[in-house]
Structure formats: C-alpha cells, structure tokens
Amino acid sequence: MNTFLREDLRKKCSNLFAGDHMADDKIIIACSKCGTKNRIPKNKINDNPICGKCQNPLSGKKTPDRPVDIIDSTFDKEVLGEPGAVLVDCWAPWCGPCRMIAPVLEQLAEEYAGRIKIAKLNVDENPVTASKYAVKSIPTMLLFNSGRLVNTLVGALPKNEIEKHVLSIL
C-alpha cells in the first residue's frame, strides 16, 4: 500500500474514533415527572430542555436529597425562585414536635429527591419570613409550587399525611 493511501486511511480512522468522546459531552437527566432518562448535550443544558417522552421541562439541577437550611435573606432565591415544588419546614430547636417530624422530612427529601426541595427555616432566627407567612405555631409546613404558596400544614403530622400533600403539588 502506498504512503498516500496509508496516510488517508489513518486520517479516516482517527476521525472515526474521535467521535467516541461525544458521549462525554452529554449528561443524563431523569425526568421528575415520568422518570425517563434523557441524554442532554452539556452545551444545551441551559436551553430549557424537555423530556422526550412526556415533554415535561427538565431542570439541569436536581433538588437535594436532604433538607436545606434557609434564612430570611435566601428565602426568595431558594423558595420563591425555585421552578418546582418546595416544602418549607418552619421550626425551632426547642420545639419537641418539630424535632419529631425532622426525620420524616429527611426521609421525604431522600425519597422525592429531584422532585421536591425540602427547606428548613428556623423561626427564632428568621422572624421576617415567619411573620410574612403568618406562622403562629410550629411546626408549620409551607408548600410552594413555582414560587407560589399553595398549602399550609400545621402540627406534627404523620408521614403519610405530609406525603399526601406533597404528592398533590408534584
């Protein structure tokens, strides 16, 4: 085989194998609505991709699998700015019932990771937000969807009751 053909073949083969890195340029995002795994190019992640099966918007970020602490100054960004569902647990460290439901909320955060964000607001340290949402007794759980308050739960409710309300906003 002459040198020219060998060089041409080498270029073609290197171009063929160069495509193998293409898989690295994509990430897989599971749809929070139907669970379908979607392959999204990394350079398109900020272009509001949608699920190929159910057409639900895919957010490039996943909600945490554990409750996050929020304060008055981060409330707007962490809750009102969240495009999906958020449960805000209004609590205080001295509150027995609040401490009783904390493990339940941790379980729900883990079970519904990617579908709902669970946030914790210490009302003693953050009176502005507590006052804004008329939190008069604790624990109080505020349920938001797309930045809008849709439900308020008061008291140490059992897991299945909290879960029923969570499912109603997903």
**Is the same domain home to 120 and 152?**
yes
Average pLDDT of the residues in 111-138: 95
What is the rounded radius of gyration, in angstroms, for the C-alpha atoms of the chain?
A: 23
Q: Does 19 fall in a domain? A: yes
Give dist(CA 150, CA 136) in Å, integer. 18
Number of domains in the chain: 2
Report pLDDT for 26: 82
User: Which band of pLDDT confidence, cut at 50, 70 and 90, is reported for residue 40?
Assistant: confident
**Is the same domain home to 36 and 75?**
no
Residue 153 has pLDDT above 80, yes or no: yes
**Is the same domain home to 73 and 109?**
yes
Q: What is the DSSP letter of 80?
A: I
pLDDT tens by residue, 6-36: 666 566 555 544 444 444 688 777 776 677 8
Catalytic residue annotation: 95, 98
Give dist(CA 148, CA 81) in Å, integer. 10
Average pLDDT of the residues in 133-158: 97
Give dist(CA 39, CA 28) in Å, integer. 5
Q: Does 18 fall in a domain? A: yes
Give residue 115's domain range.
68-169
Integer CA distances (angstroms), 118 to 6, 107, 137, in order: 61, 10, 19
